[in-house]
């Protein structure tokens, strides 16, 4: 019996089966290795660049948030939570900038989305000039924030002064960048003028995907334009609302270039947004550790708000 078992184990048929199984296993291993190699080849450079540019500075910034460092010398002193205690108890300018940024974000989100959606409705109509209007409305988004701020600084100071002297309208005679309230609204005007065109494209793409047979059926049933907009169009473009809100929240919180070039935080730091306050603290006052602590708080707040916003709007999409 033992001789028979040994002969069966050493038979050519069993050897062929074992070799076939081993060949299939080696082929599968080679395929997995090739896939892993291709994945590394295509994703590796991008991930390496992302790690060098984003991940490493992010985690080193978290470390420096708990230190006292001027950003220049090699003397880095660990201070623990002292930076955060100082921000919430003694740094009044940080608190004012934080509240001002929240106020600006609320206003900019509403106005940018309302204006962007209104422009999308306008250019979605059967107009001969709709393609020209789309280009004109989107063009401000192509201008850099620093350049845009300097252009509008000239408009507010020189342009409005000339128009006011000619027309006598009090609106153009206001000290747009010299007063706290008007300077704030000047930043809002420039930001909405720049961002509404981009948001318009998102809403326009969503409006073009609304089924026209449903709209025509609603009109036949007696629905007016407002009812069609409220009960058909708005639920259909809900995913675009989610995207637009996310983009406007993040961009409004992170406003820096327009704030820097238009008012530079003035007059008397009354329009200094949070990003500009962080920049000033780290690179002007040379308190890098304190600036990183502000940036970490800023990141956590923006991340929390955007996650809550996306979660809520996604639920409303499902409900609608």
Bridge partners of 67, per DSSP, are 78
Picking from 125, 31, 111, 64, the residue whose alpha carbon sits closest to that of residue 278 is 64
Q: Is the peptide bond before 267 cis (omega within 30 degrees of 0)?
A: yes
- Tell whether the model's pLDDT for residue 13 goes beyond 80: no
- Residue boundaries of the structural domains of the chain: 2-64, 83-319
Structure confidence by residue, pLDDT tens digits, 255-266: 999 999 999 998
- Tell whether the model's pLDDT for residue 3 goes beyond 60: no
The Cα 278–Cα 272 span in angstroms is 10
pLDDT of residue 20: 56
- Return the CATH superfamily for domain 83-319: MetI-like (1.10.3720.10)
Picking from 157, 159, 178, 160, the residue whose alpha carbon sits closest to that of residue 169 is 160
Structure confidence by residue, pLDDT tens digits, 179-238: 888 999 999 999 999 999 999 999 999 998 888 888 888 888 888 888 888 888 888 888
3-17, 29-43, 188-202, 255-269 — which is least confidently predicted? 3-17
The Cα 83–Cα 60 span in angstroms is 16
Helix (H) / strand (E) element for 186: namely helix 180-208
Contact assessment for residue 286 and residue 72, using Cβ atoms and an 8 Å cutoff: yes
Contact assessment for residue 176 and residue 153, using Cβ atoms and an 8 Å cutoff: no
Neighbours of 131 (CB within 10 A): 10
The Cα 69–Cα 61 span in angstroms is 11
CA 259 to chain centre: 17
pTM of the complete model beyond 0.85? no
pLDDT of residue 27: 67
The Cα 110–Cα 212 span in angstroms is 28
Structure confidence by residue, pLDDT tens digits, 78-100: 999 999 999 999 999 999 999 99
Count CA atoms closer than 13 A to 111's CA, side-chain side.
17
pLDDT of residue 182: 92
The Cα 190–Cα 185 span in angstroms is 9
231-248 burial, b at 16+ Cβ within 10 Å, e below that, comes to: ebbeebbbebbbbbbebb
């Amino acid at each position: 019996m033992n001789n028979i078992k040994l002969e069966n184990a050493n038979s050519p048929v069993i050897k062929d089966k074992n070799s076939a199984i081993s060949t299939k296993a080696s082929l599968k291993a080679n395929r997995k290795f090739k896939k892993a190699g291709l994945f590394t080849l295509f994703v590796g450079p991008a991930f390496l660049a992302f790690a060098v540019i984003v991940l490493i500075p992010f985690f080193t910034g978290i470390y420096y948030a708990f230190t006292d460092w001027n950003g220049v010398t090699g003397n880095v002193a660990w201070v623990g939570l002292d930076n955060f205690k100082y921000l919430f108890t003694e740094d009044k300018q940080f608190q004012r900038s934080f509240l001002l940024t929240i106020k600006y974000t609320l206003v900019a989100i509403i106005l940018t989305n309302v204006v962007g959606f209104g422009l999308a409705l306008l250019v979605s109509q059967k107009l001969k000039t709709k393609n020209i209007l789309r280009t004109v409305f989107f063009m401000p988004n192509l201008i850099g924030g620093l350049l845009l701020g300097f252009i509008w600084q000239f408009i507010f100071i020189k342009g409005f002064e000339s128009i006011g002297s000619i027309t006598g309208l009090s609106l153009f005679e206001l000290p747009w960048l010299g007063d706290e309230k008007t300077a704030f609204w000047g930043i809002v005007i420039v930001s909405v003028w720049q961002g509404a065109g981009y948001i318009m494209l998102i809403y326009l793409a969503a409006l073009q995907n609304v089924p026209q047979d449903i709209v025509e059926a609603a009109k036949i049933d007696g629905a007016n334009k407002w009812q069609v907009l409220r009960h058909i169009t708005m639920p259909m473009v809900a995913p675009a609302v989610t995207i637009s809100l996310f983009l406007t929240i993040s961009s409004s919180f992170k406003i820096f270039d327009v704030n820097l070039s238009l008012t530079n935080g003035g007059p008397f730091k009354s329009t200094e947004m949070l990003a500009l306050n962080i920049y000033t603290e780290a690179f002007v006052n040379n308190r890098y550790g304190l600036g990183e602590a502000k940036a970490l708080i800023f990141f956590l707040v923006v991340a929390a708000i955007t996650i809550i916003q996306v979660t809520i709007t996604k639920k409303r999409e499902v409900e609608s």
